[in-house]
A and B are shown apart, each in its own frame.
Chain A
């Protein structure tokens, strides 16, 4: 098993530096094809949960979930993610969703934080200030690990976020407006990169969210272990990273902007299967 992991990482590193290597390998037609095939081979090789470092976060999250902690010395085992207290299986597949107790549409991350505050008595200010692990092989933060664990318990489920409640519908509409909202020094919106089918940025393929299989493959594979960052990453991080690339200031963690975009994209991914944590470039 260890050999597989080492080989996988070696391939990963060579792919990570691929932009430089590709310059010397002149190819006719579509230069992305070879990289795609290599990446596909690599993904197949590390689809084994025992060699995907993202599963370290799942294990850490499982321990955090059941451990009595916080000022109330309670575990998260009574946390209601929408399917009832403590019911985890398939819960992630129905998020974001409306919660009557907060009168808010919440994604997995904001809901887990809310449980930490109300059930365990945590002050989550510090977590919200630094929710993501620094790149470079650092262990997942508490919230990243918890999200990885919760999301993993929806493996094999299909996305079934109905978005029927008026507040859910409002979030989907808000997400759509934000998807097209252009701003900052490059006039970018999400649509700039994700508005056409089959496009690449440099050699990187871009998902097109009006194409159901693209939307499903994307939304069904987060959280993911990102090899280029050597870290487990959640959808909140993906959106923060997109806005960073769009030359926007840091988007508010678990803000309505991030939850609305997640709701909009999840709606597009309806019927797609969840297999997480995946592993990506």
Chain B
């Protein structure tokens, strides 16, 4: 039963959105030319933000609904890129995870790069029942740890999904938080604890 609910939850979590192709075909080189004109004279770190890696390029091309062979290639590549905690511990501090889940700070032009980025989980997910200002772009994760348990395997799986959502579902709309260096490995283990720790408000 729990397994069925989990499966449904995960399917909903990573279901790609299919949208009809309405406009005329356009040469990808024309698109990149427009991009280059719209973002000019950038320092290397910002120029890197404008450019796409192979996974971004494919997800854009297929409107996040890649054909099976493309999806398989993305999964394999993204899974390979995961960096795990040096001490092997996936369960961090849920209180820090909660603070990060509430924070949308970081990465925007003008944001202080010395201040920690937030995971901004509440922008898209329901988590603790006490927080009613939550978005619905992702599935509800209310009571997630009660469904998922706290086994080593569960911890590792959740870590991998937050580190790189596309290691679990190609073209997931969720950011690849660890892969892109937006959150640190430590911050991700804190997020895992916020989701799975029995003491976390998510599971109350």
Contacts and interface: CB of A to CB of B under 8 A. Distances in A.
Interface of A: 19, 22-23, 25-27, 31, 169-170, 172-178, 180-189, 191-193, 195-196, 198-204, 206, 210, 244-245, 247-252, 255-258, 260, 264
A184 B23 CA distance: 25
A31 B132 contact: yes
- Grouping DSSP codes into helix (H, G, I), strand (E, B) and loop, the B interface class, with mixed when no group exceeds half, is loop
A101 to B, nearest CB: 21
Interface of B: 17, 19-26, 28, 30-31, 34-35, 37-40, 42, 46, 49-52, 56, 59-60, 63-64, 107-109, 122-124, 130-137, 173-176, 180-182
Contacts of B42: 249
Contacts of A182: 52, 56, 59-60
A175 B23 contact: yes
Contacts of A257: 34-35, 37-38
Given A31-B134, A202-B135, 17 more contacts: A174-B34, A178-B34, A180-B64, A181-B60, A186-B175, A191-B17, A191-B19, A191-B64, A191-B173, A193-B137, A195-B19, A199-B137, A203-B133, A244-B108, A248-B50, A251-B38, A257-B34
B49 A247 contact: yes
A176 B56 CA distance: 16
B23 A176 contact: yes
Nearest to B123: A201
A192 B180 contact: no
B23 A172 contact: yes
A188 B26 CA distance: 21
Contacts of B137: 192-193, 196, 199-201, 206
A119 B164 CA distance: 54
A26 B19 contact: no
B180 A187 contact: yes
B154 to A, nearest CB: 25
Contacts of A19: 133
Nearest to A206: B137
Nearest to B17: A195
